[in-house]
Amino acid sequence: MRSKSTKGSPASLDSSDSRSLKIMSFAKTAPSPEKQNARVSDVQQQLSKLREELNKEKEEKSRAIEELTDMKRSVASQRNGGENKLKMEALEKEVQKAKESERKLLESLVYQTKLLEQTKISLEEAKLENRSLRETNRSLEGSVNLGSRSSRKSEKHLLGNDPLPMVHAEEELRVLKNELQLATEAEEKSKIAMDGLAIALKEVTTENNHLKRTLSIAQSELEKARAEAEQLKSLLRSMEEKFQAASAESERLQFELEESVAAWNEKESSFIKCVKMSEEEITNAKAENDNLVQSQRVVREENANLRDILKHAVNEASIVKESLEIARNENSELKDLLAEKESNLQSLKQEYECLKVSEAAATDSVQGLKSLFAATSTMDSSQLVSSLETGSIMVSDSKASKFSSERWRNGNPRIQKGRRHSIGEPGKFNGSLYGGGGSPEQNGVLCASLSNVSDLRDASSIVAYDEETLISDGFDHTDAKLKKKKTILRRFADMLRLKHSYKQNSSYL
């Protein structure tokens, strides 16, 4: 098996060498894309030159036509025959120049047709070369595939043998792949060159057709120019005859001119006088115009000042509008404040009416207190002396202090749960007077006396607290008379409290 593999490997190498030699020879014989691009660029340059020549010839023809029209006009206007002859000679020279330019155009067309034939031949050759390149590429691809298969087989056989033929085979495969890439690139470049040549052929054919049309138009224009030249010759003859007649008429007109000159001199003197008068009028008009211009300037300045004044007035009006809006907003705020104050006044009036009612009740209670106070004054004095001797007053003082602290710990008893208690609610001020130990009969007198003292203290504290609440509530805008009345009514309420406590003490006694 090893001998067979060694014998088969050189045959595969010889086949790959022969294929590589074929590819190299084909690459040498095949036309390079650079040469094709150079041919295309040469053809394009020649086409651009031909276009420039055609444009120049068109410009020359247009100039010749314009000169012919100018000559026609000049022949119609002029009367001298010699000048017309010179112009005719110039026209004939221009016609000869046009003929020469036509000949040059024909020669250039012949040259272009030859170039077109050459380009067509080169296109056909390029097509054949492309076909041959495609066929060779296909054959090369097949041979490469076969070579790759054979190389794989040879690799399998030569795994245990020398590595040198494997290296040679790999190098040949790389060379073949590179040559394939070069061939494909050459095909693509040849395709691009073929497309460019086809486009150039189309452009050349279109330009040739256009040139043929322009040549036919130029020939027709030359024939028209020749016909017009013959007409101009006939016109020259007629003009010479007219010139002779005109010379006779000119002599007659000279006599008429002398007569008209004399008449014209007389008219000229009168015209000069009129011109002087008109110049004086013009100077006066200029002076008036200057005055009007100055008045216009003054008016413009006044208008500018008025515009500035109007702008200032508009700005002031805008400022006034803004101030009015601010004043309106302030008025609305003041109205809201007035409404709040009116609501506060109404609440104060209601309180004042309640206080009047409580004041009437207080006067009645004060009168009753006076009568009771006169009756019980003797009883109180004797009981106080006995209580001071026994020393029970210390206990009552401690109880009274406890009662006052518990009574005023949570704030003013007149304001509970967000509302003010009126004087006619005595149950709110009863408090836990007898919370401590002991019988009410023993400590009744002492509690009554001490409760009177504590109530007086509490009344003073209530008045101070109410004054603070009045200040904190923000009723500074109310009248001083209402404040005084409120303080008086609060004092009456304190007196009623004292009366109520005194009644309780008397009931215990």
- Give start and end residues of each alpha helix (H) in 78-160: 81-157
What pLDDT score was predicted for residue 216? 76
Q: Smallest Cα–Cα separation from 427: which of 502, 490, 359, 497? A: 497
What pLDDT score was predicted for residue 136? 74
What pLDDT score was predicted for residue 509? 53
Distance from C-alpha of 169 to C-alpha of 14, rounded to nearest angstrom:
11
**Residue 123 tokens, joined:** 């296109």
Q: Smallest Cα–Cα separation from 178: which of 12, 27, 15? A: 27
Q: What is the pTM of this model?
A: 0.25
What pLDDT score was predicted for residue 413? 40
Burial (0-12, 13-18, 19+ Cβ within 10 Å), 509: middle
Instruction: Please state, as a whole number, how many other Cβ atoms lie within 10 Å of the Cβ of residue 166.
Output: 16
Q: Torsions phi, psi of 368, nearest 5?
A: -65, -40
**Residue 263 tokens, joined:** 């008449």
What pLDDT score was predicted for residue 455? 45
Determine the residue type at 210.
H
Instruction: Please state, as a whole number, how many other Cβ atoms lie within 10 Å of the Cβ of residue 427.
Output: 7
User: Are 137 and 187 in contact, with CB atoms under 8 Å apart?
Assistant: yes
Distance from C-alpha of 264 to C-alpha of 257, rounded to nearest angstrom:
10
Split the chain (509 residues) into runs of 10 and give each run's mean pLDDT. 40 46 44 56 65 68 67 60 64 72 73 73 74 73 65 54 59 75 75 74 75 75 77 78 76 79 80 84 88 89 88 84 83 88 87 85 82 70 50 41 40 41 39 39 40 43 45 50 71 71 60
Say which residue the tokens 């004095």 belong to: 381
**For 439-498, what is each residue's pLDDT tens digit?**
444 344 333 444 444 444 444 444 444 444 444 444 454 566 667 767 777 776 777 777
